[in-house]
């Protein structure tokens, strides 16, 4: 018997923790600013219901039905699609490798901002941020190899230690603490931002509707992409948590709550950041600051935020609040990512302890190149972020092949469900998701050809080329297809008829 969450709230907090990550606090304010503020909010909100929530429903349904990680889940529903589950799982794991690095950066800056609080005046030992030139502070952090590596290790160690304790004692307890704390910190930061003198201009920028901008297709594609990446839909993470949901737990309301919770946190983060920037800087500079990406898209978060918070009353406290919220968001997502890998390995018959050791070590080793080389980090971010869009369509293909109507009746609109979806779900999965997928892939590949690497977009060894995506996805797909049958034999041989691993019987993971 697998462990299950002790209550619906425990599952929901874990799901919201999975969905809210650094992308909500780090990427969303930048993307909303790049796309002109308020008009972007409309497609972003709309695609929550047309891409993210339907995929969350699919993931919840598959995980609850099959009770296996991504590979086993896809294989359980359609043996021939086992490799697709492998692609979904590896894609998310590849993101995990560099997400540990990002979590490490957040930890580093939280500690630095804490040092600022702890040391009242004078010289700051231990690398506080106060008074530092933030660009050189960042550069010095990145150019001292032991620092990113150490904090990368700290990130993966923390997440592994939490899931080592199991679903109830680890994931559930951690999220019960982290998610209310995260919302509290975001609300504090947002209230502080809107009460700053001059914040109204930032709020105006954020909410002034410019309806004409809605005619710009870029805003729609940016909204769709943000919605696809931010909610964690299609990553296989909700599928993994659904393995541990109780038999009678609802799917539809849980999916809606996860999606709305994620977007609520994003909006809070935007309200916390954009008015602060506008309150301190002149309008034009403020716009260029919030849209600036900097090295590996870190400009606003790690360079400008420390500089700007220095200018406001109580800035040091709010800087600590900001980085603590960012660290919590990163950690709550990292926990779900490491659990995804662990669940996949456990499905092959290994104990939780051994699985965590394997996945944790792999995350540390394969994350090292990203910790040490920003170019490698950017390449992996590009390849596997776009790969996530493929993940989304793979989930839709699995359900379309199984029969959307059958899936809805068997797994979603069941008697225990709080809400019934109706046939609109069939339409969204069969028609809308494939169209959205094609639009996003065309858009991102066109960006690569026209803007990112116009001369060498086909080259397999360039950072932002289409060639590098095709090469890395292709190698993975070939590997998975070659080993499709052995994986099936190993997976279903053990899980259908084989003995329950000893450790599970001892109660470490047990019911």
Partner 1 sequence: MSGSAIAMMVSICTLLWGGFLFLLGFIWKLEKKRDEGRPDAARKTNPDI
- With CB under 8 A, what is the number of residues at the site for partner 1? 23
Verify binding: residue 256, partner 1, rule CB under 8 A. Answer: yes
| Distance separating alpha carbons of residues 368 and 92, to the nearest angstrom | 17
Contacts 24+ apart (CB under 8 A), 441-450: 441/386, 441/389, 441/390, 443/221, 443/225, 444/225, 444/386, 444/389
The reply on whether position 7 binds partner 1 by CB under 8 A is yes
* 12 lies in the site for partner 1, by CB under 8 A: yes
Contact 127, 112 (CB under 8 A): yes
Q: Identify which of residues 201 and 310 has a Cβ nearer to partner 1 in the complex.
A: 201
Place of tokens 């931010």: 230
User: Which of 454, 407, 458 has its CA nearest to residue 428?
Assistant: 407
264 touching partner 1, by CB under 8 A = yes
Least Å distance, CB 53 to partner 1, is 11
Chain centre distance of CA 169: 23
Give whichever of 194 and 439 is closer to partner 1, judged by the CB atom. 194
> By C-beta, is 246 or 490 nearer to partner 1?
246
Chain length of the chain: 511
Which member of 240, 263, 301, 472 binds partner 1 (CB under 8 A)? 263
Which one among 207, 217, 427, 461 touches partner 1, defined by CB under 8 A? Answer: 207
With beta carbons less than 8 A apart as the criterion, state whether 261 and 19 touch.
yes
Binding span for partner 1 by CB under 8 A among 5-13, 121-129, 165-173, 465-473: 5-13
Cα first-last separation, the chain: 5
The alpha helices in 348-423, defined as continuous H runs, are 352-372, 374-402, 404-407
Residue appearing with tokens 């998610």: 179
Tokens of 24: 């909500």
User: CB of 32: closest distance to partner 1 in angstroms?
Assistant: 11
Residue 3 CB, nearest distance to partner 1 (Å)? 20
Minimum distance, C-beta of residue 173 to partner 1, in the bound complex (Å): 19
Q: Centre a 10 Å sphere on the Cβ of residue 200 and count the other Cβ atoms it contains.
A: 13
Q: Is 260 in the site for partner 1 (CB under 8 A)?
A: yes
Residue 474 interacting with partner 1 (CB under 8 A): no
Q: Which of 418, 420, 450, 478 binds partner 1 (CB under 8 A)?
A: 418
Whether the Cβ atoms of residue 258 and residue 16 lie closer than 8 Å to each other: yes
Q: Which two tokens stand for residue 98?
A: 């560099």
Shortest CB 268 distance to partner 1, Å = 9
Q: Interface with partner 1 by CB under 8 A: which residues?
A: 7-9, 12, 38, 41, 45, 200, 203-204, 206-209, 253, 256-257, 260-261, 263-264, 267, 418
């Amino acid at each position: 018997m697998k462990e299950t969450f002790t209550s619906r709230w425990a599952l929901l907090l874990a799901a919201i923790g999975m969905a809210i990550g650094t992308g909500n606090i780090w990427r969303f304010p930048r993307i909303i600013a790049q796309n002109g503020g308020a008009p972007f909010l409309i497609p972003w909100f709309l695609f929550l219901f047309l891409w993210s929530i339907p995929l969350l429903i699919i993931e919840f349904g598959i995980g609850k039905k099959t009770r296996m990680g991504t590979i086993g889940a896809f294989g359980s529903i359609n043996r021939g699609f086992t490799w697709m589950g492998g692609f979904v799982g590896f894609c998310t794991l590849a993101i995990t490798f560099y997400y540990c690095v990002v979590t490490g950066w957040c930890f580093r800056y939280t500690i630095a901002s804490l040092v600022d609080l702890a040391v009242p005046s004078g010289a700051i030992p231990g690398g506080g941020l106060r008074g530092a030139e933030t660009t050189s502070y960042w550069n010095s952090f990145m150019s001292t190899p032991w620092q990113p590596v150490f904090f990368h290790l700290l990130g993966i160690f923390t997440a592994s230690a939490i899931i080592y304790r199991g679903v109830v004692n680890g994931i559930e307890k951690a999220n019960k603490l982290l998610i209310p704390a995260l919302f509290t910190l975001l609300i504090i930061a947002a209230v502080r931002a809107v009460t700053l003198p001059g914040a109204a201009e930032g709020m105006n920028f954020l909410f002034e509707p410019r309806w004409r901008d809605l005619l710009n297709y870029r805003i729609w594609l940016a909204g769709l992409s943000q919605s696809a990446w931010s909610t964690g839909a299609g990553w296989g993470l909700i599928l993994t948590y659904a393995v541990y949901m109780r038999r009678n737990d609802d799917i539809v309301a849980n999916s809606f709550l996860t999606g709305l919770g994620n977007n609520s946190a994003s909006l809070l983060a935007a309200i916390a950041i954009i008015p602060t920037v506008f309150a301190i800087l002149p309008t034009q500079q403020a716009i260029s600051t919030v849209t600036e990406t900097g090295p590996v898209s870190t400009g606003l978060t790690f360079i400008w935020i420390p500089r700007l918070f220095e200018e406001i009353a109580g800035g040091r406290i709010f800087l600590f609040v900001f980085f603590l919220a960012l660290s919590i968001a990163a950690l709550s997502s990292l926990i779900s990512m490491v659990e995804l890998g662990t669940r996949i390995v456990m499905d092959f018959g290994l104990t939780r302890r051994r699985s965590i050791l394997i996945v944790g070590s792999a995350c540390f080793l394969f994350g090292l190149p990203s910790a040490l080389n920003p170019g490698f980090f950017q390449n992996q971010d590009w390849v596997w972020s776009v790969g996530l869009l493929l993940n989304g369509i793979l989930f839709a293909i699995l359900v379309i092949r199984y029969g959307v109507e059958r899936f809805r009746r068997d797994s979603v609109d069941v008697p225990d469900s709080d809400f019934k979806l109706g046939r609109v779900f069939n339409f969204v999965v069969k028609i809308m998701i494939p169209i959205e997928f094609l639009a996003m892939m065309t858009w991102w590949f066109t960006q690569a050809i026209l803007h990112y690497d116009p001369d060498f977009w086909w080259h397999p060894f360039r950072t932002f080329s289409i060639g590098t995506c095709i090469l890395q996805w292709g190698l993975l797909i070939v590997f998975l297809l070659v080993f499709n049958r052995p994986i099936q034999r190993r997976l279903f041989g053990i899980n259908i008829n084989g003995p329950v691993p000893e450790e599970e019987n001892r109660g470490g993971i047990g019911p």
